[in-house]
Amino acid sequence: QTLVSGMGELHLQIYVERIKREYGVECIAGAPRVNYRETIMKKADFDYQHKKQSGGQGQYGRVIGYLEPTETIMDEPTFQSDMIGNVITPSWLAAIEKGFLESCDNGPLMEHRMSGA
28-55 pLDDT, tens digit each: 887 777 777 777 778 888 888 888 877 7
Residue 14 has pLDDT above 80, yes or no: yes
Q: What is the pLDDT of residue 13?
A: 86
Tell me the C-alpha distance between 35 and 4, whole Å: 12
C-alpha distance from residue 42 to each of 37, 45, 81, 90, 117 (Å): 16, 10, 19, 29, 10
Q: What is the pLDDT of residue 89?
A: 78
Question: pTM for this structure?
Answer: 0.55
Q: What is the pLDDT of residue 25?
A: 86
Residue 82 has pLDDT above 80, yes or no: no
The dihedral sign for the CA sequence 97, 95, 36, 20? positive
Q: What is the pLDDT of residue 41?
A: 79
Tell me the C-alpha distance between 67 and 62, whole Å: 16
Q: Answer yes or no: are the C-beta atoms of 71 and 95 closer than 8 Å.
A: no
Q: What is the pLDDT of residue 65?
A: 81
Tell me the C-alpha distance between 34 and 8, whole Å: 9
Q: What is the mean pLDDT of residues 102-117?
A: 75
Residue 117 has pLDDT above 80, yes or no: no
Tell me the C-alpha distance between 115 and 72, whole Å: 9
